[in-house]
Amino acid sequence: MYLRSHVRKKDGKKNRYFSIVQARRLSSGKSVQKRCLYRGEINDSQQEHWRKTLAVFDDTTQRFQPMSLFPDDREVPAQALDCVQVKLGEMELCNARAFGDCWLGCELWRQLQLDQFWNQRLVPGREAVP
C-alpha cells in the first residue's frame, strides 16, 4: 500500500487529493491497483493543524521535536521552521491492521449481552477465558 496524490485543475486552480492505494500482481502477471481509502484534499487550515500536532523523536537529543511534512514536489512555506520533504511516490503502508471489524464484534457482543447468555449455557471448564 502506498499514498498517492492526484492533481486536478478546477477553475484555473490546482487541487491536490490524496488516497491510499493497494497494488497487487495477478497470477497472469498483470498489476492491479485498488483505492482502499480516499483521504481527499488537505487544505491550508488542516495542514496548519497537522503541522502543530506532528512530533518526531530525535535519537540524538532523545526528545520529541515538532516537524512539518511537505511533499517533495511543492515548495516549503517560508513560515515552516523545522520541516521534512517526503517523496510520496516511495511511501508504503505496511502491515495495516483492520480495527473496525473487531470493534463492531465487541460492541455487538456487549449490546446483545452474549456473555450472560453463554455463561448460563456453557458448562464451566478448566480453562479461564473471560
Look up the pTM and report it.
Answer: 0.34
Domain contains 69: yes
Q: What are phi and psi of 68, to 5 degrees?
A: -115, 140
Residues 29-45: pLDDT tens digits? 888 888 877 777 766 66
Domain count, the chain: 1
Sorted by sequence, the CB contacts under 8 Å of residue 24 that are 6+ apart come out as 31, 32, 33, 34
Residues 28-84: pLDDT tens digits? 988 888 887 777 776 666 655 555 456 677 788 888 877 767 777 777 766 666 777
What is the domain extent for residue 69?
Answer: 44-91
Domain contains 84: yes
Domain contains 109: no
Domain contains 127: no
Which residue is associated with the grid cell 500536532?
53
Domain contains 70: yes
Query: Among 6, 79, 77, which Cα is nearest to 40's?
Result: 6
